[in-house]
Amino acid sequence: MAKKPDLLPGTLDMLILKTLQRAPLHGYGIALSIKRLSDDVLTVEEGSLYPALQRLLLQGWVKAEWKMTETNRRARFYTLTAAGRKQLGVELTQFEQMIAAIGRVLRDVQEA
Amino acid sequence: MNSISRFVKKLALLFGRDRYSADLDEEMAFHREQAEREFVAGGMMPEAARYAAMRQFGNATRMKERSHEVVGFKAETVVQDLRFALRQLRKNPGFALTAIMILALGMGVSVAIFGFVDAALLEPLPYAAPNRLMDVDENSAMFPRSNLSRDDYEDWKRLNHSFTSLEVYGGTGYLLRTPSGPVPVPAGRVSDGFFRTLGVKPMLGRDFLPGEDRPGQAKILILSYGTWLTRYGGRRDIVGQAVNLNEDSYTIIGVLPREFSFAPRGNAEFWVPLLDKNGCEVRRSCHNLYGVGRLRDGVTQRAALEEMTAIAAQLAVQYPGSNQGQGASVMPLSELIVGKVRPILFTLLSAAGLLLLIACVNVASLLLVRSEARRREIAVRGALGATRVRLARQFVTEGLLLAAVGCIGGIIAAGWVMTMLKRLVPKAMADGMPFLSGVGVNAHTGMFAGAVALAAALLMAATPVLRLSFQDIREGLGDGGRAAAGRFWRRMGANLVVMELSVAMVLLVGAGLLGKSFYRLLHVENGFDTTHLATVQVAAPDSGYPKTEQKVALYRAIGRRLSSLPGVQSVGITSDLPVQCNCDTDWIRIVGKPFHGEHNEVDERDVSPGYLPTLKARLVRGRLFTEDDDASKGQKIVINEALAEKYFPGEDPIGQKVGNGDLDPKSMREIIGVIANVREGGLDDELWPAEYQALYQSSDTFFAVAVRTTPDEKAALPVLVKALHEVDPNLGTYGEITMTDQIESTQTALLHRLSTWLVGGFAGMALVLGVVGLYGVIAYSVSQRTREIGVRMALGAQRSSVYQLVLGEAGRLIVVGVVVGLAGAVGAAMLMRKLLFGVQVWDAGTLLGVAVVLGASAMLASYFPARRAASVNPTEALRAE
């Protein structure tokens, strides 16, 4: 079995927040959504997903409530809060700055 | 998001923990279901889909734990560990109880003994700046510390620069007049600055003023607190009232505080100033006081001793007749009070420490056995994802829990043991040990207990953790690990058992030697028949018997009256009863022998004609006193063999004359008889030369009566007292006791008895713990080797060879333990040499006896597992695995 690339450290929270920006989702839905949107490149390990969700809940960036799914199953849906939206903005900015910086370094190395 | 609201959320989650867990469970189950459905939709068989979903999901427990970690507090895992530890202990109450009891026992005993050491050695004197207080006395060839004479004291006080104040005290007794007749009371006689020097202020009234101790001053006194309460009902208006002592009126000027005690005169009820020179104080050679001084700042004990020695030398030149050979002794007052009990306390503390060590080792090996039995559990928990740190922490928690509970039990036990031990000390002895009141559970003992508990906890925690780190988790899962682990355990367990056995050996030898000393002490040659002797002290009022003839008439009347009592065989009267002290001495000079002013110190006793026969002292030569040896005849003495040997070697002393240093004609006396040595001093004191004068020629109003009676001397005591009051209702009587009781209650005997019983008790417990420890190791080893033994027997091994196998293993451990213990025991005995009496450190009988007792009980303990091993049924043993 080929090893899939790990998520960049520190990006999981951001990915979850981004995923929830469009609509409230349950844990499985979040994992599935990330996987699909990344064309199966990014896999969120369940072992990391749920502790991360607990962390976000505790920070107050998401909130959770039990709702019925379309298949009439009870599931816990996570919704982005206002604080979460703000946090997402902060993280996206930081991430873009970081990518830009890495890109500059890589370019420089190639040209040298 | 600030940390406060996070904390509040965590707190809310803490209380909704069940709900939180349920939510998480449901959420994860949902997740797995969805994944499973996906797999099925992708064409997988339902069964396979479920497993795939579960595999993908991973370790659910681990994940849940991580989620919990996110929202939980750090301390929560500690609580979890603690809860688990409690559950573990509750699941195995036998183990938990045994461990806790052993720990509590070891801790209780050592903390209790420490309580005594702390009180006696760290804070022995209830005075201001007690380490500056010195006992200041004279010394001579026979006495390293001898009483100070009043004249010498006056000179010392005037000439010295070492002390800010130098005071004296002496013992005395009075007949106190009470409505129910005269009562003899012990009292202290002190110089005026005595209490100021100690730093003690009366709680009521005032102290003696400077100059109030001079001859001719008013008769005043200070009450001890106890006397104020019991005799005067604690009345606050008592100051200024009169007290009648020896037919003289004294005015009460003060009452001492409750916490005051002065050990050398611990039982004094009244404190009077020196006042007139009494009895022999007119002579400079009359040594009847003791000095106590407070060192001037910056002066050391040594410097003070040097100065006092120089002053003594100066006085010896000035007054050669009385002061030749009289030096000075300066030592800390605390040394005087606790010097005698210090080696005993140290011995007891060491013994208690050893017992604690055995207890801890025992519990540690119990823990080891248990960690062995829990190998599987640990391996499973490790495989399920418990980290090594978490596993180790679990063991540490269990160890700490055990130690904590043991510690609490230990402190409770310590309080109980201390109360019990204090009760064991008789009143008369407790008066001389003021520190006893400070013994109890306090900050010091609490701190000590805490330190011991910490050490115990570390040991408890370290043992299984050490064990854990040696163990490979995977190995624990398979059965194959058993052999290796068994070896590990056997090595470690065996070492622990050897240690236990050798420590038990040390304690047993110590107890044996002390026991033998005690036996020797009680069976020391006393030179008289100690059985069936009833004794009582008598104080006759001086006013009733001012003249010698009146006193002699009183002695004779007492002899007649007591002889007529049923069962009484003979009656004797003496100035001092035997087995007390080498005191009340006299300096003698032999007529016709060279003399250079040396002090030939001998015990001096005044005895009635009936006294030596009543003791059944053995006459060696000459004769004893008769009723005719009274004041109308020339003075005569009977001497003991020690005096005869020392001053008349190879001669017949009968008919020789003895006098004082100046051969004053009034002091001349003739030797009429020699008796075998009667022990006048304490049980462990040397036998001194002694002279016995005729009581009818040297009478006093304070004397002791000894009566030989059958069959029960104890029952005779009240009868004696009653009969004495029939002779004269004004006689004061006290201290009625049988001779055997008196010998057994001397301080020497009591200290020996106490240390023998305590060390003996410790040794007994150590023996039990050590033997039980050995049993545990052997039994465990047998249980681990059941298969091996089965194979051996299946291959034809005899039962006897199985016995040999097991007992051989035990025997090796025992031999090593005993040999190591013997070496340690001799070393320990060297350290407590001071406590031994009539027994050598390497007393072969004791060493051998203890080795045999320990060896035999240890072999017996290993016999049971050996028998179990030998009765193994080979087929069952092989099938069982």
* Distant-in-sequence, close-in-space partners of B671: CB < 8 Å, separation ≥ 6: B622, B636, B637, B638, B639, B653, B654, B655, B656, B657, B658
- The predicted structure's pLDDT at residue B647: 93
DSSP B757-826: HHHHHHHHHHHHHHHHHHHHHHHHHHHHTHHHHHHHHHTT--HHHHHHHHHHHHHHHHHHHHHHHHHHHH
- The answer to whether the CB atoms of B70 and A51 lie below 8 A apart is yes
The one-character DSSP state at B249 is E
Nearest Cβ partner for A28 among B5, B34, B71: B34
Q: Any CB–CB contact under 8 A between B40 and chain A?
A: no
- Helix/strand/coil (H/E/C) assignment for every residue in B403-415: HHHHHHHHHHHHH
CB of B676 closer than 8 Å to CB of B527? yes
The DSSP H or E segment spanning B176 is strand B163-178
CA dihedral defined by B124, B126, B129, B134, rounded to 10 degrees?
-60
Nearest Cβ partner for A55 among B28, B63, B70: B70
Nearest Cβ partner for A59 among B1, B30, B69: B1
Q: Any CB–CB contact under 8 A between B17 and chain A?
A: no
The DSSP H or E segment spanning B498 is helix B481-522
d(CA B321, CA B599) in angstroms, rounded, equals 9
Picking from B550, B537, B467, the residue whose alpha carbon sits closest to that of residue B721 is B537
CB of B308 closer than 8 Å to CB of B161? no
Query: Three-class SS of residue B586?
Result: strand
Nearest Cβ partner for B62 among A32, A47, A66: A47
Query: Three-class SS of residue B266?
Result: coil
Chain A residues with CB under 8 Å of B14 CB are none
Residue A76: CB atoms within 10 A of its CB come to: 18
Q: How far is B65 from chain A (nearest CA, A)?
A: 9
* Distant-in-sequence, close-in-space partners of A112: CB < 8 Å, separation ≥ 6: none
Phi and psi at B807, nearest 5°, equal -65, -30
Residue in A54, A66, A69, A86 to test binding to B, most B beta-carbons within 10 Å: A54
Nearest Cβ partner for B63 among A46, A66, A73: A46
Picking from B150, B10, B159, the residue whose alpha carbon sits closest to that of residue B72 is B10
CB of B174 closer than 8 Å to CB of B184? yes
Q: Which two tokens stand for residue A42?
A: 């990014």
Q: Partners of B229 in the beta sheet?
A: none
The β-bridge relationship of strands A25-26 and A74-80 is: antiparallel
Report the Cα–Cα distance between both ends of chain B, in Å, rounded.
60
- The answer to whether the CB atoms of B1 and A45 lie below 8 A apart is no
Chain B residues with CB under 8 Å of A50 CB are 24, 27-28, 63, 66-67
**Sign of the dihedral defined by the CA atoms of residues B263, B268, B273, B274, in that order:** negative
The one-character DSSP state at B121 is I
| Number of separate helices (H) and strands (E) present in chain B | 29, 22
Tokens 């997903």 correspond to: A49
Chain B residues with CB under 8 Å of A47 CB are 58-59, 62-63, 66
Chain A residues with CB under 8 Å of B24 CB are 50
- The answer to whether the CB atoms of B27 and A75 lie below 8 A apart is yes
Residues in chain A: 112
Give the pLDDT band (50/70/90) at residue A110. Answer: low
Domain boundaries, chain A: 12-111
Q: Any CB–CB contact under 8 A between B662 and chain A?
A: no
| pLDDT > 70? residue A2 | no
How many A-B residue pairs are in contact by the CB < 8 A criterion?
Answer: 62
Give the pLDDT band (50/70/90) at residue A112. Answer: low
- The predicted structure's pLDDT at residue B127: 87
- The answer to whether the CB atoms of A47 and B66 lie below 8 A apart is yes
pLDDT tens digits, one per residue of B833-854 = 888 888 888 888 999 999 999 9
Tokens 């009359």 correspond to: B286
Nearest Cβ partner for A46 among B1, B58, B71: B58
Domain boundaries, chain B: 3-72, 74-127+341-478, 147-325, 490-524+743-881, 542-729
Residue in A16, A33, A58, A69 to test binding to B, most B beta-carbons within 10 Å: A58
Query: Would you list which residues of chain A are within 8 Å, Cβ to Cβ, of chain B?
Result: 26-28, 31-32, 45-47, 50-51, 54-55, 57-61, 66, 73-76, 83
Q: How far is B465 from chain A (nearest CA, A)?
A: 30
pLDDT averages per 10-residue partition of chain B, 881 residues: 72 75 82 83 83 76 72 69 79 82 90 88 80 92 86 94 95 88 90 94 95 93 93 92 91 92 87 87 87 95 95 92 89 87 88 91 82 74 73 80 88 90 79 77 86 85 69 51 54 82 92 92 91 93 88 94 94 94 87 85 94 95 92 92 94 92 87 95 90 91 93 90 93 91 86 88 91 83 80 85 87 91 91 86 90 92 87 74 50
Nearest Cβ partner for B30 among A26, A32, A58: A26
- The answer to whether the CB atoms of B24 and A58 lie below 8 A apart is no
* Distant-in-sequence, close-in-space partners of B638: CB < 8 Å, separation ≥ 6: B607, B612, B622, B624, B625, B671, B672, B673, B674, B675, B691, B692
- The answer to whether the CB atoms of A50 and B67 lie below 8 A apart is yes
Q: How far is B492 from chain A (nearest CA, A)?
A: 41
pLDDT tens digits, one per residue of B334-344 = 888 888 888 88
- Helix/strand/coil (H/E/C) assignment for every residue in chain A: CCCCCCCCCCCHHHHHHHHHHHCCEEHHHHHHHHHHHCCCCCCCCHHHHHHHHHHHHHHCCEEEEEEECCCCCEEEEEEECHHHHHHHHHHHHHHHHHHHHHHHHHHHHHHC
Nearest Cβ partner for A76 among B1, B23, B34: B23
Chain B residues with CB under 8 Å of A54 CB are 67, 70-71
Question: What percent of chain B shows pLDDT beyond 70?
Answer: 95
The β-bridge relationship of strands B248-255 and B220-223 is: parallel
d(CA B341, CA B313) in angstroms, rounded, equals 33
- Helix/strand/coil (H/E/C) assignment for every residue in B610-628: CHHHHHCCCEEEECCCCCC
Query: Three-class SS of residue B326?
Result: coil
Task: Give residue B819's identity as a one-letter amino acid code.
Answer: V
Q: Let me know the angle formed at the C-alpha of B858 by B857 and B861, rounded to the nearest 5 degrees.
A: 85
The one-character DSSP state at B238 is G
Give helix B799-831 / helix B481-522 axis angle, nearest 10°: 50
Topology annotation, domain A12-111? Arc Repressor Mutant, subunit A (1.10.10)
In this prediction the ipTM stands at 0.80
